[in-house]
Amino acid sequence: MKLLATLNPQHATIMEISSYILREAARTVVFDVEKNIAILHVTTENYYKLPGGGIEDSESKIMALKRECIEEIGCEIEVIDEIGMIIEQRKMWNMKQISYCYLSRVKGEKKEAEFTQEERDDGFELLWLPFEQALSLISTNVAQNQEGGSYIVPRDTLFLEAAEKFLK
């Protein structure tokens, strides 16, 4: 998968990065039949993000992505293509996160999201929006915490900008 960017806003050194734990995640730009995409509003911290999350030990990237979509957007998906990957050097968590992003479409009917308790506590809300509106919300939003502002917003903005080539 093509590397789109490396985010290192806290300027972690090579020595620091060498001791970081690795977390891998799968994310998606997913379209419904109306050509809207799913985004999540994390209301407690006031930022928007793409669906997806951590890959568990026994899962492939695609398996994790499909599980996350059922949990977060209430839909089964069909993966169409790879968008790319982004590496985040998260110094304050001593973590290197690699996010793999895919282009997907909803398969079957939309159902209710099955948010985890943590997601409910964070005030997750699911929105289906036209691509340009979703990109605008994600990219211009000012998150109220470092994770959202330094990592999630720039990462998901880059993923959406890379996904635009598939729309032409």
Whole-number pLDDT of residue 82:
96
Residue 158 has pLDDT above 90, yes or no: yes
Q: For residue 105, what are the domain limits? A: 3-167
Whole-number pLDDT of residue 146:
58
Whole-number pLDDT of residue 168:
67
Residue 165 has pLDDT above 70, yes or no: yes
CB burial of 72-94 (b: ≥16 within 10 Å; e: otherwise) equals bbbbebebeeebbbbbbbbbeee
Counting the structural domains of the chain, the total is 1
pTM of the predicted protein model: 0.91
Average pLDDT over the chain reads 92
Whole-number pLDDT of residue 47:
87
CATH number, domain with residue 56: 3.90.79.10
Residue with more model confidence, 128 or 146? 128
Which tens digit of pLDDT belongs to each residue from 9-61? 999 999 999 999 999 999 999 999 999 999 999 998 888 999 999 999 999 99
